[in-house]
Amino acid sequence: MGVLWLRRGRRSLIWTKAVLQESRASIYSKPPRNHIGQSFFIMSVFAVAMLAPAGWILHHLPEYRQRPRPGHQEQNPKT
């Protein structure tokens, strides 16, 4: 029984090795068409430009809640 498992294991290892050699043969590298660094920098600037105003508003939200609304007069009953 042990010999059977060894044969199956060896067969699967040989098959795995053949698949890896086949996949390595199709992988090749070449220089990128576009500079990745420039793209990353541009996307970072875009993200900051979009998120900075929202972050500033959320940071100052308690101040906005305490401030009276412009053009809205408080109603004080006259006594």
Cα distance between residue 12 and residue 49, in whole Å: 54
CB-based contacts of 64, cutoff 8 Å, min separation 6: 57
Please state the separation of Cα 75 from the chain's center in Å. Answer: 50
Residue 69 DSSP one-character state: P
- Domain boundary assignment for the chain: 36-67
Q: What is the pLDDT of residue 42?
A: 92
Q: What is the pLDDT of residue 30?
A: 77
Residue 71 DSSP one-character state: T
More confident residue, 21 or 66: 66
Global confidence as pTM: 0.39
In this predicted model, what pLDDT tens digit does every residue of 23-79 receive, in sequence order?
665 666 777 776 678 888 999 999 999 999 999 999 999 998 888 877 776 666 555
Cα distance between residue 25 and residue 44, in whole Å: 36
